[in-house]
Structure 1
Amino acid sequence: MSIQDHPRYGENPIYLFLEAYIQDVIGYLPKEKSDSIQSMNIQKIFNTQASEWHSVIEEILHLSSNIDVAILDLWYRNREHFKSDSGECDPVWFSQIFTDEYMKDDSQVDVWPEGALEAAKERIKHAQSKS
């Protein structure tokens, strides 16, 4: 099945790249997959100024400088909900849900009321110190 035929990615191939970005931020994207995306030369496809694939995704989706905080905070706070039958955390499932929520017209995923960004950074620091 090609990407165009896939029910999730056919109309929104950018979802595939955003999901890879999310998986990379949470530390679950294999280096080979990251290298493969980089070798696709997506900056030419999307005609961006950026050349590194992370930066290309940030540029074409107009991701904020705090998107990694939003991703990590939601991952650490909710990873227990993203466990497979084997009990392992499922980063692909998380990245799909995050992408769906982020792409909604009224998304609040990366909206930070006063004090929320700082609190999220503290939660991340605490979660990472336990790892």
Structure 2
Amino acid sequence: MTEDRYAGRPFLRLLECLALDAIGELDPQQRTVLEAMTPKLAESLGREGTWQQIVAAQMNWGDGIEVAIRELWDRNSAVAREEGIELTPDEFSMLFADANTSEADND
């Protein structure tokens, strides 16, 4: 990951973290940072809840998004294995975030 990836798009990293959290691969230190920044995130986006709920609400995703992300991870991992490719959790999270945003998004 390069910082250029997030230049002008800070929300992109939050989407990646949401995906990593949903598949059980979020680093504990990153989780601690996200939990600590939840009040500021809530205030800046005008939302309430956990950081996961705030990110999901900002994307207009309903309850169950974590299950949907996990199912997507399971399917994509299986396809990658069938093709002899290892899909890492970080690669998946970046692909997930990219698929749900565009460069034109003003995060």
Aligned residue-pair number: 95
Check the 8 A contact 2:12/2:97 in 1, yes or no. Answer: yes
Q: Tell whether 2:67 aligns with 1:98.
A: no
TM norm structure 1: 0.62
Selected match of 1:17 from 1, 14, 18 = 14
**Structure 1 residue 55, shift from structure 2 partner:** 1.1
Give me the whole-angstrom Cα distance separating, in 1, the residues matched to 2:100 and 2:67.
Answer: 13
TM norm structure 2: 0.74
Q: Which has the larger radius of gyration?
A: 1
Give me the whole-angstrom Cα distance separating, in 2, the residues matched to 1:56 and 1:66.
Answer: 14
User: Which one scores higher on RCO, CA 8 angstroms, separation ≥ 6?
Assistant: 2
Selected match of 2:56 from 42, 58, 61 = 58
Q: What amino acid is aligned across from residue 12 of structure 2 in structure 1?
A: Y
**Structure 1 residue 99, shift from structure 2 partner:** 1.2
Bigger drift between 10-19 and 69-78 goes to 69-78
Superposed, 1:1-131 pairs within 5 Å as 6-40=3-37, 41=39, 42-48=41-47, 50-80=48-78, 81=80, 89-103=87-101
Give me the whole-angstrom Cα distance separating, in 1, the residues matched to 2:19 and 2:33.
Answer: 16
**Structure 1 residue 89, shift from structure 2 partner:** 4.7
Q: Gaps spanning 5+ residues in structure 1: where?
A: 105-131
**Identity fraction in percent:** 26
Task: Tell me the residue number matched to 1:111.
Answer: none
What's the RMSD between the two structures over aligned residues? 2.3
Give me the whole-angstrom Cα distance separating, in 2, the residues matched to 1:67 and 1:52.
Answer: 14
Give me the whole-angstrom Cα distance separating, in 2, the residues matched to 1:46 and 1:102.
Answer: 18
